[in-house]
Amino acid sequence: MNNPSLLGVGALCVALCSPIVLGQAPRQPGSEAAPAAQPVEAPKPAPIEPFVPKWSDEGIAKVAQMLSGTWQTTSPVAEMDSESGGSTQLVMQVGAVPVAGVPNALVAEVARADDLASPYQQSIFSLYRYKDQVRLRTYEFRETGKFAGVMVGTWAAPEYFPAISTKDLVATLDVELKPTGTGFAGATPYPYPTGKDGAVEMTSHVELTGKTLSTADRGYDADGRVVWGAGEGSTWKWTKIENPVKVIKMDRGVIALEYKHPEGEAIAEKDTVHIHYSGWTNDGNMFDSSRGRGRAFIFQWPAPGRLIDGWNIGITGMTVGSHRRLIIPSEVGYGERGQPRANIPPNATLYFEVELMHAEKPAPEEESGEGGEQPSAQPDHEGHDHD
């Protein structure tokens, strides 16, 4: 018997589509290092080469290309934790990424259509040959949440994908795919263990074309009886859509993924801005978060020499309510020196989530930019300015 409030159905969804949990607690912040200026001019590091996937063969390349892109559920999905019994559209982003030890890897993340900047599930797919058949293997993360923040949006900039390898992953199941007239279809080669809703094992089925994707599953109890799935309600159907996330290549290698951009006037020179943010390094370490402190960072923009250049560049053009993910190369971050107090190593790429909460124009008589809170280096949790 299928429970329509559960989102975990289908081979892809075993890894991706766990129940939507509303109101999760925020991650704990680290030291307040994020927007502070780097006091020493850092040498320019070697440029990062664009990532170009090298598929094992043409058949695997075809499956990967069909999977890659932006998918949206064709109908709303029930929210398990919603007291009102609500439902929401889901969006899944899939793209090729480099993962050490994982052949033909893709990253996939699922988010509510109304909150794309905060995916609630992430996974790794791998395509490989087994006895001349293409198999799709799904992986979950060994340490839940370790890379959750830093991974968001890296499907758009795979050369900046975090340093993930097989030691960070646990294989969950395989689906054996065979060509059809319009794409590929297949199922798990045998039942896989599960503890979901009274089942002890499960099977899954996938159908994939260039524009549609569907998954279906069945859960069996210890007596071999189907206890969920098999009906129409257990099938997730997706359609490929144009990506609603705007990818902006900015000056000096900064990349911005814009999830929200309300109408309004963009911030201008000498505006005092109120920004909530969180920041990560490539290893998944959250080194700072204003959200955990419950107060936005307030400064007069821009602030060259007092904020890292990547921030001055990355928030350009934002309007109140804009929500972005920034990827900031070390050249415009903390450079060769790093930021030891915040555990930011030398030559570290920085990953930020930023949201513009409020902006104030300078008073007409202000000429020196000294009104409001100053754009000084953000103090750490002990109240000291960063080196």
**CA neighbor of 32 nearest in space, from 326, 282, 295, 274:** 295
> Which of 168, 174, 271, 288 is the catalytic position?
288
Asked if residues 96 and 68 have their Cβ atoms less than 8 Å apart, the reply is yes
Residue in the block written with tokens 């309510």: 321
> Which of 120, 160, 259, 352 is the catalytic position?
352
**Strands 87-88 vs 90-96: parallel, antiparallel or unpaired:** unpaired
> Which of 60, 334, 344, 351 is the catalytic position?
334
> Which of 60, 164, 308, 328 is the catalytic position?
308
Q: Is 277 a catalytic residue?
A: yes
Amino acid in position 260: K
User: What does the DSSP 8-state code read for residue 50?
Assistant: P
Can you name the residues that pair with 125 across neighbouring β-strands?
106, 138
Interatomic CA distance for residues 384 and 387, integer angstroms:
9
Interatomic CA distance for residues 81 and 23, integer angstroms:
9
> Which of 120, 287, 299, 351 is the catalytic position?
287
Q: Distance between alpha carbon 43 and the CA centroid of its chain, in Å?
A: 30
Q: Is 308 a catalytic residue?
A: yes
- Phi and psi at residue 340, in whole multiples of 5°? -55, -35
Q: Is 220 a catalytic residue?
A: no
- Phi and psi at residue 6, in whole multiples of 5°? -95, 135
198 backbone φψ class: left, alpha, beta (φ>0; ψ -120 to 50): left
Q: DSSP letters along 114-155, please? A: T-TTS-SEEEEEEEEEETTEEEEEEEEESSTTTTHHHHTTGG
Q: Distance between alpha carbon 262 and the CA centroid of its chain, in Å?
A: 21
Q: Omega of the bond prior to 162 within 30 degrees of 0, cis?
A: no
Q: Is 60 a catalytic residue?
A: no
Give Cα separations from 82 to 8, 22, 116, 157, 274 (angstroms). Answer: 16, 7, 18, 34, 31
> Which of 139, 184, 220, 277 is the catalytic position?
277
Other Cβ atoms within 10 Å of 31 Cβ, number: 18
Percent of residues in the chain assigned helix, strand, coil, to nearest 5: 15, 35, 50
Question: Could you list the active site residues?
Answer: 277, 287-288, 308, 334, 352
